[in-house]
Structure 1
Amino acid sequence: MKNFRQQQQSRPKKSSLVIGREAVINALKTGKQLERIYLQQTLGAAAAGDIVKLAQQHNVPINKVPVEKLNGFNIQNHEGCVAVISKIQYQDLQQVISFIVDKGQTPLFVILDGVTDIRNIGAIARTAYCCGVQAIIIPDKGVGALNEDAITTSAGALEKIAVCRVNSLMKAVDELHLNGIKVFVSEMTASSRVFELDFTEPCAVVMGSEDKGVTPALMKICDQNFNIPMAGNFESLNVSVATGMILYEVMKQRL
């Protein structure tokens, strides 16, 4: 099933914006959590260089946009640069893993690869929290913004579950492997079925977009792929529904 039409997102409040190049640079240097940075397409390398470098260091996505997008924030003196303050406090993946293990819990993570619809992300977060997932791992590019709309859709779960934003899902999987965490990937053509896997061990589940699925390179380094059997011949399940079905199987095994 293809993604349903993108939801109309509300304009961020002015209080949630960092306006102007120097203000954004200062926010990055002082460790302020930023959801996304919007840079004017025509901004030269000299003007944007420090912002791009710092954003990469802090895994903050950058969108290069026409000036009309920036003007649409209904602000003045933006200097071709506006950042949105994050509603989510992103956490370091290794620190989250260590915290969970130190508590004597069995790690359970969800990795989102290319899931862009904020309603799907919100629904996944809500189900994940209810099923005992300790963290959601997302890339800094190619994922829907975890904004106020996403938090509302998640019924607040995105503010209760750890979210780790990484600059590479490939590196994140390597880090999970180094910590003894297996990575399973949902894939329609897999031979193994979801209820045949052992989810009682430390593990993470990768969910891909409904149109493209999981990136082939990422799928290649995962430990095992599986499918959700369906009675009818249909293209695929909605990603948030599929995630819920998988996580219920995980919770059933762990209970």
Structure 2
Amino acid sequence: MIAGLEAIKDALHSGKALDRIYLDNQLRGSEQAAIKKLAAQFGVPVNYVPAQKLQSFNVGNHGGCIAQIARVQYQNLQDIISFVVEKGEVPLLLILDGITDIRNIGGIARTAWCCGVHAIIIPDRGVGALNDDAILTSAGALEEIPVCRVNSLMKAVDELHMNGIKVFASEMTASKCIYDCDFTVPAAIVMGSEEKGVYPALLKVCDENISIPMKNNFESLNVSVATGMILYEVMKQRDL
């Protein structure tokens, strides 16, 4: 943790990666505005929280502002795509929408790294923190695979489309089975939470909705397991 407005501003200017900034929701004035502006400039999410939340971090002299240092170095999405293409490889990206369980995120990262995913794309809000526990659960994969944090998954899909990348959304009621999809093209796979699935508006901008066949009807598969099934089908098609 980094405590205090000045310390956080210094950290941002020095290039230190921050996971997010917690601001007292009663804080007002030019200093608060300056932190908000800097956070937007460096792409760091700001959470407005009550004073009790800040006290729970057990960090003294914070002056209403605490930042959490990132364990993951976030990458620029376009830079990753360009790097992959320049290497002569076919892009494969994974988008996580609303997945909050860090055990699932860790498991997904392990499988993604093993299956040759070039980057994981996450939103700046509504996703589990990529903290020490997530990295431990991933067996270190989150320190290997690039992670791109974006302020809008919808805009990220637009950027993927502009780069000629087809976006598939995993949706258990979709009529198209993963075995009938062509994953040899530049592709991104969207995985949603087990409870809510992929956000409806995000589904609409994806190119195809795909499903995993099941012998018996059930509410849903574990999202980490489902991701593994899809990624191994992608790997099988690309390696044949």
- What is aligned with 2:35? 51
* SS at 1:230 equivalent: coil
- AA matched with 2:23: L
User: How far apart are 1:46 and its partner, in Å?
Assistant: 3.8
- What is aligned with 1:230? 214
For 1:88-126, what per-residue CA distance to the aligned partner results, in whole angstroms no more than 9, with x for missing partners? 111100000010011111100000011111111111000
Question: What value does the CA root-mean-square deviation take over the aligned residues?
Answer: 1.1
Structure 2 gaps, min length 5: none
- What is aligned with 1:120? 104
Matches within 5 A, 1:68-217: 68-217=52-201
Alignment partners' CA distance in 2, 1:168 and 1:45: 28
Query: TM-score, normalised on structure 2?
Result: 0.96
Relative distance call for 1:44 and 1:130 in structure 2 (3 A) is: same
- What is aligned with 1:13? none
* SS at 2:176 equivalent: coil
Alignment partners' CA distance in 1, 2:36 and 2:221: 37
User: How far apart are 1:58 and its partner, in Å?
Assistant: 2.1
For 1:13-56, what per-residue CA distance to the aligned partner results, in whole angstroms no more than 9, with x for missing partners? xxxx1110111122223322101111112212544212122212
For 1:201-245, what per-residue CA distance to the aligned partner results, in whole angstroms no more than 9, with x for missing partners? 110000011111111111111110111111112111111111011
Alignment partners' CA distance in 1, 2:19 and 2:156: 19
How many aligned residue pairs are there? 239
- AA matched with 1:135: A
- What is aligned with 1:254? 238
- AA matched with 1:102: E
Structure 1 gaps, min length 5: 1-16
Moved more, 227-236 or 45-54: 45-54
User: How far apart are 1:135 and its partner, in Å?
Assistant: 0.3
* SS at 1:136 equivalent: strand
- What is aligned with 1:221? 205
* SS at 1:37 equivalent: strand
**Could you tell me the percent identity over the aligned residues?**
67
